[in-house]
Chains A and B, each alone.
Chain A
Amino acid sequence: MLKIKNLHASIEGTPILQGINLEVKAGEIHAIMGPNGSGKSTLASVLAGREEYEVTEGEVWFKGKDLLELSPEDRAREGVFLAFQYPIEIPGVSSTNFLRTAVNQVREYRGQEPLDAVKFLSLMKEKMKLVEIDQKLLSRSLNEGFSGGEKKRNEIFQMAILEPTLSILDETDSGLDIDALKVVSNGVNQLKTKDNATIIVTHYQRLLDYIIPDYVHVLYQGRIVKSGTKELALELEEKGYDWIKEEVAGLTV
């Protein structure tokens, strides 16, 4: 589904990603871990099409298409979804209107009929249960006055509505209390099918107790320096990242 080959990216001339290689197949969950500043969020942003980042080398293929050639909206329409690390508040844009516009523009791209108000509302109702989001929140402006946990829940709610094939969760667990974490994880697990895939970017192993990854990768200095299974995450939790850093330093000496 997703093939990343030798991806290099920089921001304002500073290289951040320095040769990422990663393949994600349908039905898989990949966790990307790593110390702060290793490039995890940059990878998520580059995949979603954030324009501040310049891809200097490498390729990204998504379902046979050159992902880097697509605008952010077309990536979303093709099925890429980024759950933001810091979902922003947009006063004056109603949550409902925003979501309906998104759903219908995605449907239009895929050659589907737009959902009318009634059908859209029943879709919303169905998905609201999944992340236990209060209808009152959705009658407000987008994310306006939401708590940190409510914002993250809203991200997963949007994901549920848009039904992406590749979801990238960018530090969705950071700052969540355990109850919110369970709700968010439960939502992600329920949305899991054999046809979609998930990339979880996280700093903490805790989330991986609730969403079990098939693969765990360690990102450091803009490269994947180690890959393994969920046991690797536990090892990182126990030993921290220093041994990884030492290994990398040892290799380069």
Chain B
Amino acid sequence: MTTITKQINSLTSTLLEAYKDLKQVLPATSLRNEGTALLEENGLPVNRVEEYKFTPITKKIESNISHFQHAAPSVKVDQKTITENLIPDMDVHLVVINNGKLEKTLSTFDSSVLSITSFTDLPEEKIDQRIGKIAIAKKDPYVALNQVAFQDGVWLEIGAKTVLDKPVFILQFVQASPEAEAVHCRTYIQVGNTAKATFIEKVVSLDDQPYFLNGVTEINVGENSQVEFYRIQDEGKAALEVNNTEVNVPRDASFSSAVISFQAQMIRNNLSINLLDSNSVGNMYGLYLLNGHTHVDNHTNVDHTKPHSESNELYKGILADHSRGVFNGKIFVRQDAQKTNAFQQNNNILLSEDAVINTKPQLEIWADDVKCSHGCTTGQLDEEALFYLRSRGISKESSRGMLLYAFAGEVLEKINNENFRNYCIRLVQQRLGSH
């Protein structure tokens, strides 16, 4: 007889203990029970776990964060801070989130096309029926943790046949307080049939103190609708974040994501797109420009389930100093999903000997009539090209910037919204010192 004793790491025990007595405004009992059970069984991922092999986020949280006992309180966010973080010259529906809680009075949007509701204001059965049904807790322990600990969330809804004339800008302010350094936020986006909407999310660290942001975003795209979701990650140097975004894309609908990452201590992005029916499209784009000790991990997953669906993926990274990037791209093509087109590409430039990239495509194809391709490259800045530009009188710094921008720009070209694309181009050019 052997006795199997499951050992979960100490952080998991600490968290489960802390959250057991957390005062919950939202009961969401079944979600919390499910999350607790999953964590008790598997724990938060440690290095042995294949999916988190290169990203020791659990260890980082353990060594940086110690106060979980309380729910993160709302912090001071004034109009000036909001204005500073808006995208210049861009008209938006503004949604302000303060440590995971909707700031309705600071949000400005047209309620005739967009409805925004706190989870705490939703009928309980809606929580039970809808939350946690797209982002499945079983798939990732941090989703399970979020289910145990989330205090509130934001429900964004766009009705059928609605075409949003301007993007929804989700401005998410995060700040640790002495008793609460973790924020477990949730967003649910419901888009009706034959609708069109663009979302932009930006996390703003209000100071340089470490925090742990554990977000879950569920997006339910309507049939024949087009949804774009862009994210800018430029946080405090001590920030820790796990981000789970999962999207259901039905017949004739398309979903495009772009994640632009600049700074944090460590970020893990899990993006999953479920292409549920024919003629559905999922696009995943990413650009990470990292320096210092920033570590950004993009795990993506696209699941082709029915014939005639398409996915396109392009992630590019430029890594300087001691920064580290991880890319893992899973493509599943199920047996039914004949005539699938799936393309994946990951390219990296390492600017320093201390920068590291781990990249891994993972294709699992059961259908036999498909077009799939993947490729990854890692290299350095092309010295020949650099000399060519300099030999024409262009300074070393500008030449470098031009070449890096030429590399990075390909991702930005995938952003459909022109104003936002131009904003990203300016941000990236500033970073790269090109003009």
Residues in chain A within 8 A of chain B (CB atoms): 48-51, 71-73, 75-77, 81-82, 84, 87-88, 90-93, 97-99, 101-103, 105-106, 109, 141, 158, 162
Contacts and interface: CB of A to CB of B under 8 A. Distances in A.
B394 A102 contact: yes
Interface residues of B, number: 23
Contacts of A162: 392-393
B367 interface: no
Contacts of A50: 387
B105 interface: no
A97 B394 CA distance: 11
A71 B393 CA distance: 9
Given A90-B406, A93-B402, A102 B392 contact: yes
Given A50-B387, A84-B388, A91 B406 contact: yes
Contact of A88 (B385, B399, B410, B435): B385
A101 B398 contact: yes
B392 A76 contact: yes
A73 B406 contact: no
B387 A90 contact: no
A49 B402 contact: no
Given A51-B387, A90-B385, A105 B405 contact: no
A162 B388 CA distance: 14
Given A90-B385, A92-B409, A101 B403 contact: no
Given A76-B392, A84-B391, 11 more contacts: A49-B391, A71-B396, A72-B391, A73-B390, A75-B391, A76-B391, A90-B382, A90-B406, A92-B406, A92-B407, A101-B394
A82 to B, nearest CB: 5
B389 interface: yes
B358 interface: no
A-side binding surface: helix, strand, loop or mixed?
helix
Contact of B398 (A48, A75, A77, A105): A105
A90 B392 contact: no
A85 B127 CA distance: 68
Contact of A72 (B387, B405, B410): B387
B389 A77 contact: no
Given A101-B398, A105-B398, A72 B390 contact: yes
A106 B393 contact: yes
A73 B395 contact: yes
Contacts of A103: 393
Nearest to B435: A101
Contacts of B395: 73, 105
9 contacts: A72-B387, A82-B391, A84-B391, A92-B406, A93-B406, A101-B394, A102-B394, A106-B393, A162-B392
B380 to A, nearest CB: 15
A90 B403 contact: yes
A109 B393 contact: yes
A98 B389 contact: yes
A87 B384 CA distance: 10
B384 to A, nearest CB: 5
Contacts of B409: 92
A206 B44 CA distance: 74
Contacts of A90: 382, 385, 388-389, 403, 406
A140 B410 CA distance: 14
A97 B409 CA distance: 14
Contacts of B398: 101, 105
Nearest to B384: A88
Contacts of A106: 393
Nearest to B385: A90
A161 B398 CA distance: 19
Which of B393, B394, B399, B405 has the largest number of chain A CB atoms within 10 A?
A: B393
A105 B435 CA distance: 12
A34 B402 CA distance: 37
B294 to A, nearest CB: 24
A162 B387 CA distance: 17
Contacts of B389: 90, 93, 98, 102
Which of B399, B405, B407 has the largest number of chain A CB atoms within 10 A?
A: B399
B406 A101 contact: no
A76 B393 contact: yes
A98 B402 contact: yes
A48 B409 CA distance: 30
Given A73-B395, A92-B407, A101 B390 contact: no
A99 B389 CA distance: 9
Contacts of A141: 406
A77 B393 CA distance: 5
A71 B396 CA distance: 9
Nearest to B407: A92
A131 to B, nearest CB: 16
Contacts of B382: 90
A109 B392 CA distance: 13
Contacts of B384: 88
A162 B394 CA distance: 12
Contact of A98 (B387, B392, B396, B407): B392
